[in-house]
Amino acid sequence: MTCQCCGFELSSGTVIRVDAESGHTYKSCPHCSATHGSEHVFHQYPYDFGMPSADVTSANPDGFQGCCRKCRTLAAGESSRNVKKGRVCSSLR
């Protein structure tokens, strides 16, 4: 499924946006985005994700986690409870 705002897949955790007013960087959480169902949901990066060095690869040179910290603790198939704390794609354009 694609984001109604930017057209990228909701399952992508690599979409990065910067808030023009605050200068804060945000990254999409694929689990929160899937729960939302129509737009990417972003959380502050790296604070809400973490960047352990074990995840550094050529495809992920910064080593960021795919899902936000709250979603990584959920059981398989459980909907995100953190979705309402994020910012939707259209609010960061």
Is 50 in contact with 44 (CB distance < 8 Å)?
A: no
Q: The domain containing residue 29 runs over which residues?
A: 16-91
pLDDT band at 77 (very low <50, low <70, confident <90, very high): confident
Maximum pairwise Cα distance, the chain: 36
pLDDT band at 83 (very low <50, low <70, confident <90, very high): very high
- For residue 11, tell me if it sits in a domain: no
Question: Among candidates 6, 20, 17, which has minimal Cα distance to 86?
Answer: 17
Whether this model's pTM surpasses 0.85: yes
3-state secondary structure of 4: coil
Give the count of domains, the chain: 1
CB atoms inside a 10 Å sphere around CB 9: 16
Element at 34 (helix H, strand E): helix 30-36
- For residue 51, tell me if it sits in a domain: yes
The pLDDT value given to residue 55: 67
pLDDT single digits (tens) 2-53: 999 999 999 988 889 999 999 999 999 999 999 999 999 999 998 998 766 6
- For residue 80, tell me if it sits in a domain: yes
- For residue 69, tell me if it sits in a domain: yes
- For residue 60, tell me if it sits in a domain: yes
